[in-house]
Amino acid sequence: MSDKPEKFIDENGIRLDGRRADEIRPMTVEMGVLSRADGSCYLEWGNNKVLAAVYGPRELHPRRLQRPGEALVRYRYNMAAFSVEDRIRPGPSRRSTEISKVSGEAFEPVVMTQYYPSAVIDVFAEVLQADAGTRTAAINAATLALVDAGIPMKGLVAACAVGKVDGQLVLDLNKPEDNYGDADLPIAMTEDGDITLLQMDGNLTVDEINRGIEMVKKGCEQIFEIQKAALMSKFGTIEEEEVLED
């Protein structure tokens, strides 16, 4: 028997988890949580728990994969076997391979790969607990792990999904909305609002997609603020120290 809720949004416009249509779930981040990685970030978003680690830049082997004028950004998204309700079979799957590919590409416009010819920058995103929106959660954590590793970037990348339930667009789908909703549209973007990842599952009209993108932009603005607050608390004192020394 399906455990699809009868209604996703009540008469007051409130969703099953108490949010309004345009609200994202609470997000907390912590940078530098792994001492053996060059950069890392642990992120919680609603009930999602994600760890991102960055290694590199370092020389890429085998050498035939090296790019003479730039570094290769290699992104691996992985769901831990215990991260979902039904245990996931360990190892790569079609889904994780696809998510890894498009997530890595989402960073292409911002990572300044030209400074590290023939090198590789490895990004590992490990989903420890999944509750819908893990690819976007992983991208938000990976951005901070890249900065933590000191990788030069033109700006940050944030990601959030929008979807449709009960005929209405809703931001940052929770698990029942993702499972039983009519559409899921995960998007990543730069601080300038340039979209670097867009996938779609389900059906939306062109007008709904355009309105959905606007909702995601607002969600990503909030995520950029959270990311910047984390950066300020980790690195924000450097300038103050310099001023004191002068």
Interface positions with ligand UDP (CB under 6 A):
84-85, 88, 130-135, 175, 178, 184, 186
Using an 8 Å Cβ cutoff, are 95 and 135 in contact? no
Residue 136 C-beta: closest distance to ligand UDP, Å: 6
Nearer of residues 100 and 134 to ligand UDP, judged by Cβ? 134
Q: Is 87 exposed, middle or buried (0-12, 13-18, 19+ CB in 10 A)?
A: exposed
Nearer of residues 201 and 214 to ligand UDP, judged by Cβ? 201
Nearer of residues 28 and 114 to ligand UDP, judged by Cβ? 28
Nearer of residues 60 and 139 to ligand UDP, judged by Cβ? 139
Residue 95 C-beta: closest distance to ligand UDP, Å: 6
Residue with tokens 């792994």: 34
Residue 198 C-beta: closest distance to ligand UDP, Å: 13
Residue 132 C-beta: closest distance to ligand UDP, Å: 4
Residue 48 C-beta: closest distance to ligand UDP, Å: 7
CA distances from 231 to 29, 82, 90, 227 (A): 10, 30, 33, 6
Could you give the CA distance from residue 81 to residue 124 in angstroms, rounded to a whole number? 16
Using an 8 Å Cβ cutoff, are 50 and 42 in contact? yes
Could you give the CA distance from residue 48 to residue 204 in angstroms, rounded to a whole number? 25
Q: Chain centroid to CA 244: how far?
A: 37
Nearer of residues 65 and 81 to ligand UDP, judged by Cβ? 81
